[in-house]
Structures are given as C-alpha cells and as structure tokens.
Amino acid sequence: MATKPRAVSKRAAKSRQKTPPDTKIGNGGETHQLATDTVLTTQQGTPVADDQNTLRLGERGPALLEDFHFREKIFHFDHERIPERVVHARGYGAHGYFETYRPLTELTRADVFARGGERTPAFVRFSTVAGSKGSFDLARDVRGFAVKLYTQEGNWDLVGNNIPVFFIQDPIKFPDMVHAVKPEPDRAFPQAQSAHDNFWDFVSLMPESTHMLMWVMSDRAIPRSFRFMEGFGVHTFRFVNAKGKSRFVKFHWKPEAGMQSVLWDEAVKINGADPDFHRRDLWDAIGQGDFPSWELGIQVFDDDFADRFDFDILDPTKIIPEEIVPVERVGRLVLDRVVDNFFAETEQVAFCTQNIVPGIDFTNDPLLQGRNFSYLDTQLKRLGSPNFTHIPINAPKCPFASFQQDGHMAMRNPVGRVNYEPNSWEGADRGPREDPVRGFTSYAAEEGGAKRRLRPSSFADHYSQARQFYRSQQPLEQQHIIEAFTFELSKVETPAIRERMVANLRNVDEDLARGVADGLGLPQLPAPSAPAVEPRDDLAASPALSILANAPDSFAGRKIGLLVADGASAAAVAAVQRAAKAEGAVVEVIAATITGATLDDGQLLPADQKLGGGPSVLYDAVVVLATEPGAELLATQPPAKEFVTHAHVHGKFVGYTPGAAPLFDAAGVVPDDGYVDVQRRGGAKQFGAVCRSLRHWPRLVPPTG
C-alpha cells in the first residue's frame, strides 16, 4: 500500500522538474520522492528512470536482455578490480611539489634542476613489497618510495625504496626472489611475512642478499611512519650536462622530521589495532597541515672515484658511505594534498624506471637494466592498454605529441591525415618532429666485450658491507637485528635452512651469529660458509647508517595519547595541549567511552578514541590524567592496564597526575625517569621537552650479566 506523501522542501519540489517523479524502491513498491539536482545517467549519458529494479517480463517473470542499464552497471562492477601489483601492491600516495634549492647546470642539463626556487608538481607512492593490497601496514618489509616528477621536459620517475641496496645483483633472479618471499604456493600463507621456509631457503643460498638482510632485519624495515623514513634511488645513475660531460649520481631522500621506527612488539600490536596505521598517519598529517617533507640529496662522483672505490658502483647490493662521498642537499619534496580518488590516482599510477628526462641517464647496473624492461611490460598487464599514459595521474603536465594511435582505451589520437614520420607535409599537417638539441640523447659511453652470461668478479664480495652495516649500529639496534633474525628463523621448519643462515652470518659478525644461534637453541655454531671473497675487516663504521645516531631531537609531527578519566584536572589537560602544540605534536584523547570524560570543571572533554580502541602502541608518548577514584576505576579495566603496561615496556615517555598511581600499581609498572608529573608547575612543558628524545632509551636497554 502506498505511503502518505511527505512534505517536501522548495528545493526538492524544484528538483522534480529535472528528475523522474517517482522511483520504485524495495519489494513493496513504495513511491518516494528523491531530492537531488543531479540526474543519474548511464556511462553514455542516458538519464536513468529506475536504479532499483531490473527490467522484467511481468511482475515475477525473467529478466530481459535489453536492460542496457543493468548490463552496463553489472559489467562495470564485475571489472572494478584491476590486477594488483605483483610487488608493492599495498600502497598509499599523495600529491606535492619538488623545489630546487639552486641551479645544478654544472652537473646536469635536466630542466627540473635548471632554476633555483622553481616548484615541480610531484606524486609519491609509498608501499610495502611482499604483501597483497589487503595486508597490513606494519609488516617487516622494504618500503617502496616512488616519486613521479612532472617536469617541463616530461615525467621523471625515481622509483626507489627506503633501503639503498637490494637482495639480488641480476634481474634474472627477481622472479625467484619474489616467489620465495610471497605466500608459499601450496598453502597460500604467510601473508606479508618473510618468516617462512621458502624465503630463508632462497636467501641462505644467495650470499649476495646478506647486506640487504641486515637492513631488513634492522629497525629500518618497521618505520614509525612514511614521514619518518629515508628514501633511496638504489641504483647508480648518470648526470649529463649541456656539454655532454657525465658524472655518476646516487639519489637520497632525507626526511626533515628525522628518522623513527617502532619496536617489533609494537608493530605486531599496531597491525591488530590499526592495520591502516601508515595510511591514516599520512592522511591525517596532510589534513592537519603538517606537510611531510624530505630533502633530495645527491652523491656525485666521477670515473676516477668509481675506479678507486673498494666496491663496484654498479652493484645494487652495495652503498657508497656518506662519510666517503657526502650527500649534498639540492632540493625539497613536500606532500601537501591527498588524492581525490584512491583508485584513479594511487592505484592507477604507473611508475617506470625508464622514465627519465634529458640530463639524467642510466648506467649498466644490471638490476636497473632489467627494471627498465620489466616495469613497462607490467603496466600493460595491470592497466590493460599501452595507453596507460592517457590516465590523468600518468599524463605529463608539459606539452607532448607523438604519432602513437589506437589501442584499448585510446583517449587521444593524431588529428588529420598524417600519423607517421618522416612525411612531406607542411605546416600543421606535418605533425611533430624530433629536436636534436632539446631531445633526449643517451650518453655516449664506450662499450665492448663478448656476449656472455656471467656475474662480474667485482660483485663477488657479499659480506664486507653487511659487516659494516651491522657494526655501524648502536648496541640496542644490534640487539634488535639479532632478535629479528631469531624470530624469523624460528618460524622456519627446516633445521638445515636455519643452520645454513647462521653459517652465513658468521661471515658478517661472530657476535651476531652467536646471538642468533643462542636464540634458536642451536647446540653449536655451524662452520662459516665459504665466501667467494674473504670479507674485509677494515671498513670504518658509518654513523649515517644508524637511526639512533641520527635522532631528530624533535617531537614535531608526533602524537600523544591522552588517557583521561572522569574528574581529571581541566588545567592539566590544557597544559598538556599547550605543551604539545609548542612541540608541534598532536594530542588524541582516549576515554572509557567515545563520548569522552567530564573534567573537574564540569566540562565534557570529547574523546577521539574509546578505551581499547586507542591502545598506547598508536602513540609516540602517553599521558594519564585521573584522580585516585578515577584511576581505581580504570584499574578494573584490562585495556587501561595494557595501555600503561605497553607504554612502559615500549619505552614511551609517560606524563601523569599523581592520582594515576592506582592504575600504575595495578599494571605492575614502576615509574622511572621517563615519567613526568604534568600537574606540577612547569611539568607539562618539561614533558614536551623530554619527548624530543622520542623514547626513554634506558628502559629499553637489555640487562647485562
């Protein structure tokens, strides 16, 4: 039975003139007026009269094939998902700009470096490598750091990672490496984890992966945020200036907010509490105007240095320590805008290492050469057409013209009769022509030699830089590496694989190998594996490789979790909020209910998170504000005790009011120098200052003896 007509607004009444008067809804056939100024259409622009019911023969009869709206709608739905990336499937992106500090014309003719202070539009996609699109953010994994710069001479894609080296030296091993780290094919797990037999079997048989393993087992592989990690171009490229002179260059992205990672136990708990932790962090930071930024650094060197360097500059498993070739900061990357649509931009963006511009060129790094082939081929499979550059996120922002035509989803085709060159037509009919002066010209490197399948002997030292990396870490970071190897190898079911990996680690560092062997309960250390080249023991430690040695001494961009109980001091809340603002930090309120807590001045403090939904692992520091009765009530709730316990064991700085003592007692924590009374005079300001150290490190140092 029809319902009684409802009163409608003037706007709704006006909209009836533009839309069909009635829309059938549901099984009852009720008639409702829809207030809208926009007419629903098919993709062809045909207005739709009924989007609730398919076209049928009779009231209960079969559906009709002529229902073009339904067929178009379900056809598009069935094809909403494009094949996800084989690697780097879980990604998140944002728009911004790159600003050059000064002209670099003495080094390169690249237009993006031609004028100081000029801003070039940019899009950046961060990602994990091993997991699928639906995996979690805090996997122990390499992070992709891919930058697309829309320069005035075409798109330049610097497709890198947050680790400057890679697992393999030759691209022919890339499918094997990825297959090994992905879920095992017979059981389809584990997801986004390398802690399984296949991965460790592969890398234990590939000594060239050892240096990369040091990085992946370090805290670099569990960053606190995309905003607090470095990025690297990985490979050695060339700069070529207007005179044709070439120098080698390596690219670095240095986070202006400093580096920061989480503890492994935090990562595990964050994945359960918020599997979108990194995505949310980037989205929130940009939304709050705390724009993430990195400085672009370059290491530039010539052939003479390349010939003298201890390792082959074309080996992608090696670095050039910053102490040997300093990193010069030449520009700044800022992300200041989130995407309008995740699929259209972050998911459809296509990065290709082959996308370079005049003034930047390749080297014979074999892995780079392989990537140049693979990436373009991959885009055809993922995006379904050679016309993926017609998608707005991939299109250049400078003038462009070619004779490419047709193919699936061609949005642009040549205009007029000519679609080839050379041609003899004149004027506008002739189409674009090459420009020997402005156009890209490959550096005229002299090459020669027999065609052979081989690995250069200069690539044969697989352990020396791995040893250098480990010995460049501070003791706590070394302990984390030992624990990471131990955890990963403890998930390996095959004893021979565990022993083979420990045997490889003996070529890196005896203490490292012994720590892992003890953690695995091996009865004795296996004999060291036979290295292709005896590892060197004379490489100086590189402080630049340590996160802790390069702490930012700033709490800017970080987050404080403020656990508040009813009756808490309003003055203390205000003092903490002022202190956080002064440090450039954000405060998030956690209370027993999402409604919030009523403070001692009678005002309601709204909550951002309900207790249990905002565990302390989501925050860089925490504050507990409660009276004794309020703390006693919190002490009866397991999430409140876990909030305090986890903050303590993870080395967080803890602010508190004296009334919080019953909660601390119930949680079994004993306040130390990392606890600050924020209620006393100047306490909140002191709390903000100590948070600049990010953690109370003495609490995390393992006991000795």
Q: Is the pLDDT of residue 8 over 60?
A: no
Q: What is the pLDDT of residues 190-211, one digit of tens each?
A: 999 999 999 999 999 999 999 9
Residue 232 phi, psi dihedral angles, 5° rounding: -140, 145
Which three-class secondary structure string do you get for 415-427? CCCCCCCCCCCCH
The residues carrying an active-site annotation are 88, 161
394 within 8 A of 350, measured Cβ to Cβ: yes
Burial letters for 411-425: b for 16+ Cβ neighbours within 10 Å, e otherwise?
Answer: eeebeeebeeeeeee
Q: How far apart are CA 441 and CA 454, in angstroms?
A: 29
Q: What is the mean pLDDT of residues 17-33?
A: 36
pLDDT digits (tens, 9 = 90+) for 222-266: 999 999 999 999 999 999 999 999 999 999 999 999 999 999 999
Q: How many other CB atoms are there within 10 angstroms of residue 331's CB atom?
A: 21
* Residue 285 DSSP SS3: helix
Mean pLDDT of 284-293: 98
Average pLDDT, the chain: 92
Work out the angle between the directed axes of helices 277-287 and 264-273 (0-180°, nearest 10).
Answer: 80
Residue 608 pLDDT more than 80?
Answer: yes
Whether 673 shows a pLDDT value over 60: the answer reads yes
Cβ count near 228 (within 10 Å) = 22
Q: Angle at the Cα of 283 (from 280 to 289), degrees rounded to 5?
A: 135
pLDDT of residue 350: 96
Tokens 């440090």 belong to 583
Helices (H), 7-67: 10-15
Residue 229 has, within 13 A of its CA and on its CB side, a CA count of 29
Q: Which pLDDT score, from 0 to 100, does residue 593 have?
A: 97
Confidence of residue 128 (pLDDT cuts 50, 70, 90): very high
Rounded-to-integer distance, Cα 317 and Cα 319, Å: 7
All structural domains of the chain, each given as residue ranges with its CATH number in brackets, are 1-53 (no CATH), 91-394 (2.40.180.10), 463-549 (1.20.1370.20), 553-700 (3.40.50.880)
Phi then psi dihedrals of residue 159, to 5 deg: -100, 95
**Better pLDDT: 408 or 95:** 95
What does the pLDDT look like over 145-184, one tens digit per residue? 999 999 999 999 999 999 999 999 999 999 999 999 999 9
pLDDT at 703: 62
Report the percentage of the chain scoring pLDDT > 90: 77
Return the number of other C-beta atoms located less than 10 Å from residue 270's C-beta.
21
How much is the average pLDDT of 466-491? 98
- Compute the distance between CA of residue 171 and CA of residue 370 in angstroms, rounded to an integer: 5
For residue 413, the model assigns a pLDDT of 81
- Per the rule left: phi > 0, alpha: psi between -120 and 50, beta: everything else, 517 is alpha
Spatial separation of the C-alpha atoms in residues 498 and 513, rounded to whole Å: 11
Secondary structure of 590-621 in the HEC alphabet? EECCCCCEECCCCCEECCCEECCCCCHHHCCE
458 phi/psi in degrees, rounded to 5: -70, -10
Output the pLDDT for position 255: 98
Q: Which of the residue ranges 9-13, 222-226, 700-704 has the most confident prediction, judged by mean pLDDT?
A: 222-226
Helices 197-204, 174-181: axis angle to 10 degrees equals: 150
Q: What is the pTM of this model?
A: 0.91
- Mean pLDDT computed over 556-577: 98
Out of 22-36, 62-76, 541-555, pick the least confident.
Answer: 22-36
Average of pLDDT values for 588-617? 98
> Do residues 48 and 40 make contact, with C-beta atoms less than 8 angstroms apart?
yes
Task: Give the chain's radius of gyration (CA, Å).
Answer: 30
State pLDDT tens for residues 507-530: 999 999 999 999 999 999 999 999
For the residues 683-691, what does the mean pLDDT come to? 98
pLDDT band at 37 (very low <50, low <70, confident <90, very high): low
Contact 597, 565 (CB under 8 A): yes
127-131, 395-399, 556-560, 683-687: the lowest-pLDDT one? 395-399
13 has a pLDDT exceeding 60: no
266-283 per-position pLDDT tens digit: 999 999 999 999 999 999
Q: What is the pLDDT of residue 248?
A: 98
